[in-house]
Structure 1
Amino acid sequence: MSHTAKIVSPVDGSVYAEREYASTASVALALQAARQAQQLWRSVPIAERAAVCLKAVDAMLAMQDDIVTELAWQMGRPVRYGAGELRGFADRARQMIAMAESALAPVLPDPIDGFRRYIRREPLGVVFVIAPWNYPYLTAVNAVIPALMAGNAVLLKHATQTLLVGERFQMALDRAGLPAGLFRNLLVDHDQAAAIVRSGQVHQVNFTGSVAGGRTIAQLAAEQFLGVGLELGGKDPAYVCADADLEYAVANLVDGSFFNSGQSCCGIERIYVAAPLYQQFVERFEAMTYDYVLGSPLDQATTLGPMVHARAANFVRDEVKQAIAQGARALIDPKRFAADVVGSAYLAPQVCIAVNHEMSLMREENFGPVVGIMSVTDDDEAVRLMNDSDYGLTASIWTSDLERAERIGDLIETGTVFMNRCDYLDPALAWTGVKDTGHGATLSRIGYEHLTRPKSFHLRHRV
């Protein structure tokens, strides 16, 4: 049997691209080359590393027109939005490059006469990045560029569904003049990825994906005492307080629920609305949901593309059916979206009310264009429900009261607290989570701490 990977496009079910998986020998050579290249790269001044990485960002942006179309074919993102991910890629990369000098600077304790003491941030060695398909450039850049800036080598395993993204990373870094072997895009299957983790030749694994996948990675890494960074998804809540700007909250939460066909780990999957606003909120939310245009992602008029696979869409359909059987009410008529065909990857957005936490729809990550909305009586009930989850990536609070948002935010079990925004990453802040959302952090100065190790120098120069 041919050992090949195929991208089956959600656009029409055709095979968009096919590649041979890497051989065992080529993986071994990549590991050896990475280690050798990293030994030289770690001594390169940060300013020189930055110059190369910035050239790579420019090289990636120069491929934008091709990349936008490729994204549509690979994972279904409408072409009208494809350039947005590239802009986000560039912004994150440049911000992480800009902060590297200070983030990697030695830590200096209070001076003691006769001693020189400091903590140096040392590169780990080889970082193995396993990236997902849903935001394939944004998720990969979170680790790839900071790892290189920190003096590490990087091996990238991208999701099979977006394997062309890994190739684009290789092109951009090669064109930027990155030393040979320092970065390598590897097309490997799950068994090969496990072998890389077990090889003893990588020193950190950054994985974005499912909880089950994260547990497997953590177990494999523990055998080698490797560092791990795990982002494993979320069931992100929003709380709309009675003093919120209703129109603003609705517009942003509709977008936060359905952008990228709901296929975002920090997308909004459940909304709790203060009772006085509930009816108006639901009515406006329903009306705005009907504004979406479901169709081919290659059409500029499309605002909602297909889900990545028909099976993913069918999973969401089943979640909604199950919730309805338990008493939920679905507000959106799929028949008003002509492209919604049962069994296909094309799925209309859905809004469910009369939901509760006995329903899987409100507890399990569905990763699709569906959201449940509940009425709550006060802040305490909202906090209780927001925390009633196995996940904790982000949570958003919609209010005109800054102190209230901070007070509620202190009580929420989450990695990021938003006020009056959602579904966003700020490179200056740590991207992290709690509970089954994962472990570790990317972005910000803290992200650099997870890509280096401290080495202390305690030097007595007066005896």
Structure 2
Amino acid sequence: MIETTNPATGETLASYPKMDAAEVRRIIELADAQHRQWRRTSFQERSGIVRKAADILDSRKNELAALMADEMGKPVAAGRSEVEKCAWCFRHYADNAERYLADVQIDTDRTKSYIHHEPLGVVLAVMPWNFPLWQVVRFVAPALMAGNAPLLKHASSVTGTALALEEILSEAGVPDGLFRTLVIGSDLVDGILEHELVRAVTLTGSGPAGSAVAKKAGEQLKKAVLELGGSDPYVILEDADLDAAADTCANSRMINGGQSCIAAKRFIVHDTVYDEFLEKVTANMADKVMGDPHDEGSDFGPQARVDLRDELHEQVTGTIEAGARLVMGGEIPDRPGAWYPATVLADVRPGMPAFDEETFGPVAAVVRAADEAEAIRLANLSEFGLGAAVFTRDAERGERIAAEELEAGNCFVNALVASDPRLPFGGIKTSGFGRELADLGIKEFVNAKTVVVA
């Protein structure tokens, strides 16, 4: 059985029977059969179904937000925003998939030469708990519109949310078996990737999980897209608007209780404004309200699991022991559940856990830099390369740094890093490879077929 647990209380929410390998094989075979019919449908037919899914999401956003609050501690206000973003993503691909996948004519010495896009077939998605709807929908929406059959292996802790999405897609008119949630443990993933009818895999999660899936996909010579961890640097230059920068940095750090791959993790601050920025960002962090995720006034709830909270606390204590200064937070509350307070660490340096590792929780690491060049060096001194931001009143300077200096897949100027269905999303270095969203995302799981007529 798979059990889900309320991270605010530690109480068991529900139990779900696990599927065995034989049932999973039957699901894969049905998905492949349904894909062979689905790929023949028109973009107009698919878009009607996908738009209906968006409408159903909008109508159930309160219910879904409450479910996510129960399963992984997301405040209901943030949960509603997540559902609305998912509906936007479905509508975006309903409106744009045909244009994204249109034939591309190429001038050659032949009568006709062009690129034609065809779906791959059954694609496995291995998804995490932190954005239990968004992480799935940003794959499923383009996959369905491209003509693929997406199968979901979700994090066990959000099984209820995964099954709710399956129900919504079925109600919207997705053919039975074309999309399924696989209620399984991680031990069956290798066998799924070995199945001849599974053509590709996408994973959002940790580095070790991504490495394991990429290794198996490589052995099978199957396409993989990985969106992994991040330790996003936010560079605050000497001419930055410090009030705006501190507010944006705190908001980014506290997204989803700090449990976001693209949340700001390391604040790298020019020496001349370091003390002032530290004071302002600490005040912003202190304003964030930790509380019941069902309370509309809560900015952040518990961490998703007690073991993850404990791992975060070890990173905090290890950083302090290595010489960093605890400005606020940093103590586990004496209450049931996976709670952890907003925490600020100052004078963080390379070699400390909060600099070198991804801190997946409400912990801000403030780093001093002598000048612009050192700030950029420190920002790039990481195994990760998912997102980054730079704050300066000189827009041209900021754009140059974002475009040419920062080593990340998503670089923003005077704004927090965020995903958007209209923009490609993904990382470099150990933050993964491949892209999601926009035109690049839908093209990851199609055959870009060259067609030539003599």
Regarding TM over 0.5, the answer is yes
Partner residue of 1:64?
61
Q: Tell me whether 1:357 sits opposite 2:353 in the alignment.
A: no
Partner residue of 2:438?
444
Q: Which of 29, 32, 37 is the matching residue for 2:29? A: 32
Per-residue CA deviation, residues 246-269 of structure 1 (Å, 9 max, x unaligned), is 111111110111121110000011
Task: Give the drift of 1:98.
Answer: 1.8
Per-residue CA deviation, residues 32-86 of structure 1 (Å, 9 max, x unaligned), is 1111111111111111111111111112222212111111110011123221111
Question: Do the aligned residues in 2 keep the contact of 1:52 with 1:177 (CA within 8 Å)?
Answer: yes
Secondary structure of 1:331's counterpart equals strand
Per-residue CA deviation, residues 198-246 of structure 1 (Å, 9 max, x unaligned), is 1121111010111111111011111221100101110000001122111
Partner residue of 1:149?
145
Partner residue of 1:54?
51
Structure 2 regions of 5+ residues with no counterpart?
A: none
Q: Tell me whether 1:383 sits opposite 2:380 in the alignment.
A: no
Partner residue of 1:245?
241
Task: Give the drift of 1:303.
Answer: 1.5
Q: Which of 74, 83, 94 is the matching residue for 1:86? A: 83
Partner residue of 2:409?
415
Give the letter aligned to residue 12 of structure 2.
Answer: V
Per-residue CA deviation, residues 100-122 of structure 1 (Å, 9 max, x unaligned), is 1111001100264x612111011
Task: Give the drift of 1:25.
Answer: 2.5
Partner residue of 2:338?
345
Task: Give the drift of 1:334.
Answer: 5.7
Give the letter aligned to residue 110 of structure 1.
Answer: D
Tell me how large the CA RMSD over aligned residues is. 1.5
Partner residue of 2:154?
158
Task: Give the drift of 1:343.
Answer: 8.1
Give the letter aligned to residue 165 of structure 1.
Answer: T
* Aligned-partner Cα distance in 2 for 1:269–1:342: 26
Question: Do the aligned residues in 2 keep the contact of 1:244 with 1:398 (CA within 8 Å)?
Answer: yes
Secondary structure of 1:118's counterpart equals strand
Question: Do the aligned residues in 2 keep the contact of 1:341 with 1:347 (CA within 8 Å)?
Answer: no
Task: Give the drift of 1:423.
Answer: 3.4
Give the structure-2-normalised TM-score. Answer: 0.97
Secondary structure of 1:432's counterpart equals coil
Per-residue CA deviation, residues 394-425 of structure 1 (Å, 9 max, x unaligned), is 00011122221222121111101101111311
* Aligned-partner Cα distance in 2 for 1:446–1:68: 29
Q: Which of 20, 39, 48 is the matching residue for 1:42? A: 39
Output aligned runs, 1:111-260, within 5 Å.
112=109, 115-260=111-256
Partner residue of 1:16?
13
Secondary structure of 2:254's counterpart equals helix
Greater displacement, 101-110 / 23-32: 23-32
Structure 1 regions of 5+ residues with no counterpart?
A: none
* Aligned-partner Cα distance in 1 for 2:185–2:248: 38
Per-residue CA deviation, residues 141-199 of structure 1 (Å, 9 max, x unaligned), is 11111011011111111111111121121111111111222111111111112211111
Q: Tell me whether 1:454 sits opposite 2:451 in the alignment.
A: no
Question: Do the aligned residues in 2 keep the contact of 1:313 with 1:344 (CA within 8 Å)?
Answer: no
Secondary structure of 1:56's counterpart equals helix
* Aligned-partner Cα distance in 2 for 1:359–1:447: 35
Question: Do the aligned residues in 2 keep the contact of 1:379 with 1:408 (CA within 8 Å)?
Answer: no
Secondary structure of 1:157's counterpart equals strand
Question: Do the aligned residues in 2 keep the contact of 1:77 with 1:260 (CA within 8 Å)?
Answer: yes
Give the letter aligned to residue 378 of structure 2.
Answer: L
* Aligned-partner Cα distance in 2 for 1:334–1:132: 26
Q: Tell me whether 1:291 sits opposite 2:287 in the alignment.
A: yes
* Aligned-partner Cα distance in 1 for 2:354–2:336: 19
Q: Which of 423, 431, 445 is the matching residue for 1:429? A: 423
Question: Structure 1 residues 340, 295: CA separation in 2 closer, same or farther (over 3 Å shift)?
Answer: farther
